[in-house]
Amino acid sequence: MDQELQPAQLDQLIPPVPPQPKKNNFLLWVLFLVLLLGSSWGLYLTARDQGWLPSQRMMAKTYEECASLPNSIIQESYPATCVTADGQRFVQPISTSTALPTETAAPTANWKTFITDDKKVSFKYPSGWTVDQNTTSEGWGKSITTANLKNDKFHLSVSVANAFMNECMQEISKQNITLSGTTFYKRYFTGVYSGEACSNKENLGNSEIWLQPTLIDKEPYNYQYGLLFDQILSTFKFTN
């Protein structure tokens, strides 16, 4: 019969089990920290490039600063516009020399002044023209004061009266105007004799200013006369 082994003997027969080495977690922690730092740096670079950082949003105060920021957009226009990543807009300043406004001289500033002999009417006329005056009686106790303006090509008769013109000239146009609170007819005549626009006794209560442009070379009435006459009328004054 086999001899029964004692526990001490069993310990001698079973070889000892070597202790399991502990897992080295140090490398794992190092790898984790490297990944964490790398991802954080990557997020920072992305935020910087996209202009998400608060310091960048507050940095742009001018167009030039906006243009220097990363990820800013320059919109091609005139003037150009810079838009930051967070939507701030800056318009490119345009340097221009602003000229001070200068007063424009009136067309009649250098004209001469004509005053009728009775000192009732004054007006200005071009300095290169000559002017003379004549007063004619028109019957019915009415008189007409006429200023004849002339240059080398044109003859302009400006007549002021409280009566119709006692001549029969071809009329071009007629309109009401007000000078110094008095209403007048402004009439244009060609200087060509006609059966129109003759004086008549019923119309003696109307005050009139007439323009009778008689061209020396007998050319028809033109726009230049109308413009000149309007400028003369703009200077009309009744002195008493």
DSSP label at 168? Answer: -
- Do the domain assignments include residue 165? yes
Output the six-digit token pair for 129.
């023209």
What's the confidence (pLDDT) of residue 79? 77
- Give the β-pairing of 73-75 and 81-83: antiparallel
Domain encompassing residue 78: 61-93
Same domain, 169 and 85: no
Quick: pLDDT tens for 132-174: 777 666 554 556 667 777 776 666 666 665 544 445 556 666 7
Answer whether residue 218 shows pLDDT above 60.
no
Same domain, 88 and 131: no
Same domain, 129 and 65: no
Answer whether residue 22 shows pLDDT above 60.
no
What's the confidence (pLDDT) of residue 11? 57
Among 221, 127, 228, residue whose Cα is nearest residue 170? 221
Answer whether residue 126 shows pLDDT above 60.
yes
On whether the CB atoms of residues 214 and 191 are closer than 8 A, the answer is yes
Angle at 40 between CA 36 and CA 43, to 5 degrees: 140
Same domain, 120 and 233: yes
On whether the CB atoms of residues 236 and 183 are closer than 8 A, the answer is no
What's the confidence (pLDDT) of residue 217? 46
Quick: pLDDT tens for 78-98: 778 888 877 888 888 876 554
What's the confidence (pLDDT) of residue 30? 77
- Do the domain assignments include residue 230? yes
What's the confidence (pLDDT) of residue 215? 47
**C-alpha span between 170 and 161 (Å, rounded):** 19
Answer whether residue 45 shows pLDDT above 60.
yes
**C-alpha span between 95 and 48 (Å, rounded):** 32
On whether the CB atoms of residues 43 and 49 are closer than 8 A, the answer is no
Same domain, 191 and 133: yes
- Averaged confidence pLDDT in the chain: 68
- Do the domain assignments include residue 68? yes
Residues ≥6 apart with Cβ < 8 Å to 231: 107, 108
For residues 76 and 101, the model is more confident at 76
On whether the CB atoms of residues 205 and 155 are closer than 8 A, the answer is no
Same domain, 85 and 175: no
- Do the domain assignments include residue 31? no
Q: Which of 112-126, 189-203, 225-239 shows the lowest per-residue confidence on average (mean pLDDT)?
A: 189-203
**Residue 203 pLDDT level (bands cut at 50, 70, 90):** very low
**C-alpha span between 206 and 185 (Å, rounded):** 8
pTM to 2 decimals? 0.43
